[in-house]
A = this chain, B = another copy of it.
């Protein structure tokens, strides 16, 4: 330590991956599984932590896996998938989970939709990675705010819970994790009306804290590592009983659909 500072003064956030969570099956209660796995690696979940849980294990626990052989593709799904190598049964599921189609590029098999929840993403968040079997895909949770609340209730300590998923973005290559479900924390850090370091009022900035925490958690989780949960410690957030819906821009204010 230097002479002019103490460890207490240093702004610091820690992201701790939780390993050892077993394969999740329909009906499993994630809260106790997370507590047990955390304890197994010597990590206690503390009040004020934010627990970030990837969508995939939430979908598994909620029985949101679908066998493609049970899906009969419509004529429209067959047509949409004709030019690309996409499986028409997957396209059929994407359409069923969607409220509207935002963009489609049939040649490359890209389908950007607005899901029933209001998320705008590729393929309605349906994918087959980290799902057992070759012909099985996972759907998003029906209500990922409810999923987050249930996990939070099971954790029995005052934490925030985020359900995260990996989305692409317009204009930029690569994927990042976003928050699709939130419980116990305000998804924003709102600086509007506060003063900047120069003493001027900040007019515009409202930070999507829940999205930034999801991104931070993803770095530790990785994609191939079997780490579906991370704890973020040392974050200032405002407790809130609202969910994630305020993160979704209203169509009337959106310039890109």
Contact = CB atoms under 8 A, between A and B. Distances in A.
A62 interface: no
B174 A211 contact: yes
Contacts of A219: 13, 209, 212-213, 216, 235
Contact of A129 (B14, B17, B196, B248): B196
Interface in A15-35: 15-17, 19-20
A208 interface: yes
B212 A218 contact: yes
A241 to B, nearest CB: 18
Contacts of A103: 255-256
A240 interface: no
A169 interface: yes
A47 interface: no
Contacts of A74: none
Nearest to A171: B120
A246 interface: yes
A247 B202 contact: no
Nearest to A4: B40
Contacts of A130: 196-198, 200
Contacts of A76: none
Interface of A: 1-2, 4-7, 9-17, 19-20, 39-43, 103, 105, 110, 112, 120, 127-132, 134, 166, 169-178, 187-189, 191, 194-198, 200, 202, 204-209, 211-213, 215-216, 218-227, 230, 235, 246-249, 254-257
17 contacts: A5-B19, A10-B43, A11-B220, A11-B221, A11-B225, A12-B17, A13-B216, A13-B220, A14-B15, A169-B169, A174-B211, A174-B247, A175-B207, A209-B219, A211-B215, A212-B216, A219-B235
